[in-house]
Amino acid sequence: MKEVVLDTETTGLDVNNGDRIVEIGIVELENHVQTGACFHYYLNPERQSDFQALQIHGLTSEFLSDKPRFKDIYEEF
Alpha-carbon distance of 7 to 74, in angstroms, equals: 15
pLDDT value at residue 66: 98
pLDDT value at residue 1: 95
pLDDT value at residue 20: 97
pLDDT value at residue 11: 97
Q: What distance separates the 2 farthest-apart alpha carbons in the chain?
A: 40
Closest CA to 11 of 46, 39, 40: 46
Taking only the tens place, the pLDDT of each residue in 13-52 is: 999 999 999 999 999 999 999 999 999 999 999 999 999 9
